[in-house]
Amino acid sequence: MLTALGYEEPTPIQRAAIPTLLAGRDVLAQAATGTGKTAAFALPLLHRLTPEAPPRERTAALVLVPTRELAMQVAEAIRKYGAGLGAVAVPIYGGTPMESQIRTLKRGADVVIATPGRALDHIRRKTIFLGTLRTVVLDEADEMLDMGFAEDLEAILAATPAEKQVALFSATLAPRIAAIAKTHLRDPEVIEVDTAAVKAARTATIRQVAYLVGRPYKMPALARILDIERPTSAIVFCRTRTEVDALTETLTGRGLPAEALHGGLSQEQRDRVMKRFRAKTSTLLVATDVAARGLDVQHVSHVVNFDVPNATEAYVHRIGRTGRAGRAGLAITLMEPREQRWLRSFERATGQPITVQPIPSVADLQASRAAATQAALRAVIVAGGLEPWRRIVDALAAEFDPRDIAAAAVRQAMGETGAAAEEEIPDARERHPAREREAVRKARREATSSETAGMSATRPTAARPARGPAAKTPRTTAKRKGAGPAGAMAKLYLGAGRKLKIRPGDIVGAITNEMGMDASAIGAIQIWDRHSIVEVPDAVADEVIATLSATTIKGKRVQVRRDRSVR
C-alpha cells in the first residue's frame, strides 16, 4: 500500500520513530516540516484503532496541530494510509460551524485531528469522547506554543486518560518543549534527527539567490523577476496580512494574477484558494508564514521572500516549500541593503551558498519576453493547423515582404510597447550603510574646505509664506549636531506637521530606519502645523524622497518633495 503511494524507503525520522511508537513507548522527536513525520506517527496509530467500538467510543487517537491547513493535510494523509482499514479521520478547527463538526463526531471518528482551541471547545462540550483514547500526538508543538496555545495544550492533555501514549514532534527541543515533555510524557524515547542532514536534504535541490534592492523599488523588482522566471507554481511570503493583500492586488494589476492566503480569510475562502493552487489553476500564492504553516504542495517551483524573515528558522521553513520530491527549486529573497547581515546566517542555517545577483535590466526583460514569444510561436508551428490563417498571410504577401508580415505578427503577439515602458531599477549591491556614512562625511569635508575663509557655516533658515495665524513660526525646530553646511544639504518638504503630532524623532527615525543613514547626517528639522522641513545631504535627497514616499510616518503616508521655497 505504501509503495502504491510512492514510498520506497523510510526517512530518518520514520526509521527512528515508527518502531518505538509500535512498541508503545512515548516519543519526543525533533523533526522539521518536510522530513516525513506525518507518516512517522500516522502509521503506528493506525495499528491501535478500535473500529468495532460504538461510533461515539471509537476515537483512539487525537492529533493536535497549529493550523487549519495542517489539520486538513494530516487528515487526508491518514485517510490514504488507512484506506484499507476503513479508517475515519476527522479534522476539526475554527472558522467552521460547531454543529456540523458535532454531527460528524457523533457518526464516529477513529482519529481526530484538531487545532488546540477548537479541540478544547469540543472537550468542554463533551462532544469528543476521550475514554477510549490511546494516543495523543502534538505535531509542530513549538509552533503551537509560539501561537499562544500553551494553556490550551495543558488543559487538553490533562483531560485525556492517564494511560495513553504521547508523541511530541517539534522543530526544536527548546526548554519549554522539554517542560511539557517532563510533565506529560513517560520515559520518552528522545529522537534528534541530524538537523544538518535534514537541512542539507531539504536544500540540496534548491538554488538560493538574493537581490539587493531599495524599498521603493521592491515591487517593480519582484514583478520583473517573476516575469523573467515565469514560475510554474510560486509562493511569495510577506510578514503581515495587510502586505499580502496589497501585494496581491498590485501583482494582479501588473498582469501577474495572484491569490492571497492569510488568517483574515474565512475558512471557505482559504479552502478555495488552496484547492485552486493544488490543482495548478492558480500559479502565484501570496501568503503569511502562519497561513502557509504545514502547507504541503509538491509542485512549488519558486519561493520568494518579499520580506526578509526575522529568524533563520523561518527562512528554512519558507524555502523548504520548494525543491520537494526530487524536483529542482529556486528560493529568491529581496533584501534591502541594511538587511545584508542576514545572508551569512541563512547560509549557515541551510549549509548552502546564497548568490547575490543584480536586478534584471530592461534589456534582460526584453530578451526574456522575446525568447518566450519565440518558444510559443515554435510550439504553434509544430502543432500545425495553421491553414485558416495562411489565407491572411497570402493576402498580405501580395503587398508586403513575408518577413515584414511575420515581424508584425510577432510585434502584435508581444504587445506594442514590449518592455519599453519599464524603467531601470537602481543597483543596490554596492550600497552599504557604513560606506554611505563615509560618503556623506566626505561630502561635508569637501564642502567645508571650499567655503570662503571667515564665512559663517551656519545654514540660513528658509522662510516660508504664512499659512494663517498659527503658521507664522514653527513650534519645533531641531538643529542636529554635525550637520553639514548649506552647500551640501537639500531641504525636503513633508506634508505632515504638529496637527498629526509629528516630532523631530519621528522624521529622523523614518529616515534612518528605512535608509540605514547615520542620524548625524540629517540637518535642521522644522515642524509647522501642516508641514515639516528637514535637511538631508543633497547627494541622497532623491533617494530619501523615494524612500519616505513609499513608507509611513506615524502610520500616515505623507507627501515628500524638495522644498520649493528654497531660492
Cβ atoms of 521 and 435 closer than 8 Å: no
Are 137 and 248 within one domain? no
Residue 446 belongs to some domain of the structure: no
Cβ atoms of 321 and 305 closer than 8 Å: no
Q: Which three cell numbers stand for residue 317?
A: 521553513
pLDDT tens digits, one per residue of 44-70 = 999 888 767 777 778 999 999 988 878
Which has the higher per-residue pLDDT, 460 or 112? 112
- pLDDT at residue 303, as a whole number: 94
Quickly state the pLDDT bin for 194 (edges 50, 70, 90).
low
Q: Look at residue 477 and tell me whether its pLDDT is greater than 70.
A: no
Residue 70 belongs to some domain of the structure: yes
The mean pLDDT value of the chain amounts to 79
Q: Look at residue 473 and tell me whether its pLDDT is greater than 50.
A: no
- pLDDT at residue 415, as a whole number: 63
- pLDDT at residue 9, as a whole number: 67
* Percent of the chain topping pLDDT 90: 25
**Amino acid identity, position 526:** Q
Are 129 and 74 within one domain? yes
Q: In DSSP terms, which residues pair with 298 in a beta bridge?
A: none
Are 159 and 18 within one domain? yes
For helices 98-107 and 116-125, give the axis angle rounded to 10 degrees.
Answer: 70
Residue 223 belongs to some domain of the structure: yes
- pLDDT at residue 198, as a whole number: 47
Residue 158 belongs to domain spanning: 12-193
Name the nearest CA neighbour of 451 among 484, 490, 492.
484
pLDDT tens digits, one per residue of 394-430 = 888 888 888 888 888 877 776 644 444 567 777 776 5
Q: Look at residue 6 and tell me whether its pLDDT is greater than 60.
A: no
| Size of the chain in residues | 567
Residue 160 belongs to some domain of the structure: yes
Are 24 and 124 within one domain? yes
Are 186 and 318 within one domain? no
Helix, strand and coil content of the chain, in percent to the nearest 5, comes to 45, 15, 40
Q: Which stretch, 34-43, 370-379, 504-513, 532-541, has highest mean pLDDT?
A: 532-541
Residues 6+ apart with CB under 8 A from 223: 250, 251, 254, 256
Cβ atoms of 162 and 154 closer than 8 Å: no
CB burial of residue 117 (10 Å; 0-12, 13-18, 19+): middle
- 163-177, 469-483, 494-508: range with lowest mean pLDDT: 469-483
Report the C-alpha gap between 184 and 465 in whole angstroms. 73
Are 149 and 209 within one domain? no
- pLDDT at residue 485, as a whole number: 40
Which has the higher per-residue pLDDT, 484 or 329? 329
Among 362, 382, 398, which residue terminates a domain?
362
pTM over 0.85? The answer is no
Which has the higher per-residue pLDDT, 409 or 497? 497
Give the dihedral of Cα atoms 127, 133, 139, 145; nearest 10 deg: 60
**Amino acid identity, position 406:** A
Quickly state the pLDDT bin for 155 (edges 50, 70, 90).
very high
Are 171 and 215 within one domain? no
Are 138 and 208 within one domain? no
Q: Please report the beta strands in 243-296, taking only residues with DSSP state E, as ranges in sequence order.
A: 259-261, 284-288
Name the nearest CA neighbour of 30 among 176, 169, 184.
169
Which has the higher per-residue pLDDT, 483 or 274? 274
- pLDDT at residue 296, as a whole number: 67
Q: Look at residue 507 and tell me whether its pLDDT is greater than 70.
A: yes
- The residue with cell 536534504 is 201
Residue 146 belongs to some domain of the structure: yes
Q: Look at residue 442 and tell me whether its pLDDT is greater than 70.
A: no
* Percent of the chain topping pLDDT 70: 80
- pLDDT at residue 475, as a whole number: 47
Name the nearest CA neighbour of 109 among 68, 40, 54, 166.
54
Residue 62 belongs to some domain of the structure: yes
Among 319, 335, 362, which residue terminates a domain?
362
- 125-134, 533-542, 549-558: range with lowest mean pLDDT: 549-558
Residue 278 belongs to some domain of the structure: yes
Are 128 and 215 within one domain? no
- pLDDT at residue 159, as a whole number: 94
Are 144 and 118 within one domain? yes
Report the C-alpha gap between 462 and 237 in whole angstroms. 45
- pLDDT at residue 200, as a whole number: 46
Among 333, 362, 391, which residue terminates a domain?
362
Are 124 and 244 within one domain? no
Q: Look at residue 38 and tell me whether its pLDDT is greater than 80.
A: yes
- 36-40, 496-500, 550-554: range with lowest mean pLDDT: 550-554
Quickly state the pLDDT bin for 293 (edges 50, 70, 90).
low
- pLDDT at residue 395, as a whole number: 86
pLDDT tens digits, one per residue of 328-373 = 789 999 998 878 878 888 888 788 889 999 888 888 777 777 777 7
Are 146 and 234 within one domain? no
- pLDDT at residue 430, as a whole number: 52
* Domain CATH number, residue 466: 3.30.70.330
pLDDT tens digits, one per residue of 156-171 = 999 999 999 999 998 7
* Domain CATH number, residue 288: 3.40.50.300
Residue 430 belongs to some domain of the structure: no
Structurally, the chain folds into a number of domains equal to 3
Give the chain's radius of gyration (CA, Å): 30
Cβ atoms of 224 and 425 closer than 8 Å: yes
Q: Name the DSSP letter for residue 553.
A: B
